Structure formats: structure tokens, C-alpha cells
Amino acid sequence: MRIPLPHLPRAAALLTLILVLAACGTGHQPAAGHGAASGPAAAARAVAALQRRYGAGGYRATRSWQSANALGATIDYMRASGSPDFLADLSETFRAHHGRDNFLNGYYDDEGWWALTWINAYDLTGNGAYLSQAKDIFADMTGGWDSTCGGGIWWSKARHYKNAIANELFLQVAVALHERTPGDTGYAGWAQREWAWFQGSGMLTGSHLVIDGLAAACKPDLSSPTWTYNQGVLIGGLVALARMTGSKAPLATAERVADAVMDSTALSPHGILRDPCEPSSCDEDQPLFKGIFMRNLKLLADQADPAGKAGGISYRQYLRRNAVAVWSNDRRGDEFGLSWSGPFDSASTAKQTAALDVLNTQVSAHADG
């Protein structure tokens, strides 16, 4: 396999080549302490830097949904690597907020992120309190469903916008709870109801990309951006739905969405993922989006990864290419910036979480050989 190297100074290009060889399982793997890292070592440095931002039951100067994703990425690292290093942060977050319903707020998408995080925590630890927390959150999310626009949940409890992300999360959480609830029919019913509605909403366009939401009169707002996280969360939900139903159709749709992103010169210029707001107009939330896409693309790669996909590269190759890019082009020490093609601009919890998400995909890839 050949991955073209970007035009970099000689030292950076050499570092990139070493990382590619390590990720492909050939050659000598340099120790992390010598300035180069294999997949596991790179992720270990990224997660340690992220957790320096943690304190007092959460991540400093960070919005609720960002904290959920930062903790989720940290859990993903522990699951992939076998490291128990951050279990205390997990239990501290739960103790700090569980009794005060702080995992609920005015936005159903924020709640969905926390539900997924506690499901992930349950899978890591087997602690039933975490699964119960996720079920409580989902019960609150169901209150956002009504007949406006024929169904679906609202983005917020103010009920002024129905959008993709809240409903994609609703689908993912419903399937995940079904899979962890023996004899369940209720969560499965919600998942099927959600997907039936979403398919007819127009938010998944004929180009196989998901727009942000519905405009007036419940019409799809075709002028809204195709954010990478909207593509990713739908991919993850459909992978799970295919597993739940035994149908190949959801998986085929997930592949079409993934291929559309990888084929897009706007979303994947030179094979490196970017969001429509880059490089200079992203808000404090949007730098997190790319990591969410990569986390979900890994689920698709694990389920079905044909040898040749968009542009002739597989999902696993695309994941690896982006992990190489963020490490080589968008790093200062152990912190990461906005644009994975570089250069590094500044650090934030959202940027660090997104980088950890893509680096995490190489921890299990390395372990799998």
C-alpha cells in the first residue's frame, strides 16, 4: 500500500514514514520517548494531554456535550489499549453529576452524547449503574418525539428545530440499549420508528450526504452544511441497526454515506478529512466533528471493509491516512489543532478529543496486526 506523503520538512516527512511503517506492521517501531510513535503510543500521549484538562468532575471551560465526547474518547482508549489509567475520572464524573440529573439539559443531542458515553462506560466496566443512567437519559429523550414533521425528536426542548444529529443519536442509543437489554422490544421499536422517519425526512440527500436539518414547513434545508459528524453518527447508527435487524440494507446505506465523504473534494481534499468551516470560521464546537466521524467509520470498517472503496482505498486505509496526518502535520508536542492537514493553530478540548478519536482507531488496528 502506498500513502502519498505531504510536502513537509525532511524531519517531519521521516517521522511520517516511520509512523506509516509502524501502522502497517512492518519494520522497527521507534519508542515513544524518541519523538516518534506507533498508533498506541500516539494515542497514549494524546489521551494524557486531554486528561490534563480534566478536573472537579468534568473538563475545564468545556460545554456539556464536549465533555461527554472527551470522556467517551478516553473510554475508547482504555477499551482499545487495556489501560485502566483513567477509571478514576470516569467514576468521579458519574458521582459528581448523577444525583443532580446533570446529564440532562435543554438539548436532546447533548443528552444523546451522554447516553452513548455511559453505555460505553458500562461496556468497559460492567457497572450496571452506568447502563441505568443511559436508560434514564433515553427515557427523557423520548419526550422530544411528536407528530410535527411526521415524527422525529426536536433538537432542543424549546421545540423550534428538528435536525439530523439529535435523531441520529436517538437511533444509536436506542439500538445500543436494545442490544444490552435481554428480551427487549421497546428500544428496538424506537430504533425502527426513528429510521423509518429519518429516511423520509429528506435530510439524507440524493448525494448520500446528510444535511443539518429541516427548514420551514418541514422541508430539508439543502443550503445547510454537510457536517462530518452528521455523516458519522448516521453511519454508526446504521451499522448497529443492520446488526439488530439482520438486514443488509442499513449497512449498504452506511457504506454509501462513507464513500460520499471519502469521494468529496470538499470534505476529503487529498484524502484528509475536513469540515466546511475550516480553516478559519469554526466555532468552539465544530473542531470536534471530524473525530466523531472517524470513531463511527471505525465501526463500519470493523463490520464491512471491502478491499477497494472510494478512490481505491479502504476504510482502514483512510483511517490510517488521517491518523498519520494529524500526528505529522497538526501537532505541537502532545496537543493538536484544527486542520489535520496542518499547520497547528491552537489547542482546545474539542481539537484534542477529535485527534484522540482518530488516533484511537489505530490502537485496535495495531493490536489486530
Tell me: pLDDT of 178 over 60: yes
Q: What is the mean pLDDT of residues 99-123?
A: 96
In a domain, 280, yes or no: yes
Please write the tens of the pLDDT for every residue from 235-292.
999 999 999 999 999 999 999 999 999 999 999 999 999 999 999 999 999 999 999 9
Instruction: Give the pLDDT of residue 56.
Output: 86
Instruction: Give the pLDDT of residue 347.
Output: 97
Tell me: pLDDT of 76 over 50: yes
Handedness of CA 283, 259, 364, 323 (dihedral sign): negative
In a domain, 7, yes or no: no
Instruction: Give the pLDDT of residue 363.
Output: 95
CB 222 within 8 A of CB 210: no
Domain that holds residue 135: 38-368
Total domains present in the chain: 1
98-107: long-range contacts at Cβ-Cβ below 8 A with a sequence spacing of 24 or more? 98/129, 98/133, 102/64, 103/133, 103/137, 104/137, 104/140, 105/64, 106/156, 106/157, 106/158, 107/65, 107/155, 107/156, 107/157, 107/166
Q: Would you place residue 21 in the very low, low, confident or very high pLDDT band (cuts 50, 70, 90)? A: very low
In a domain, 305, yes or no: yes
Q: Would you place residue 8 in the very low, low, confident or very high pLDDT band (cuts 50, 70, 90)? A: very low
Domain CATH for 284: 1.50.10.20
Please write the tens of the pLDDT for every residue from 201-210.
999 999 999 9
Look up residue 369 and give its three cell numbers.
Answer: 496486526
In a domain, 151, yes or no: yes
CB 133 within 8 A of CB 94: yes
CB 231 within 8 A of CB 293: yes
Q: Would you place residue 312 in the very low, low, confident or very high pLDDT band (cuts 50, 70, 90)? A: low
Tell me: pLDDT of 369 over 50: no
In a domain, 272, yes or no: yes
In a domain, 16, yes or no: no
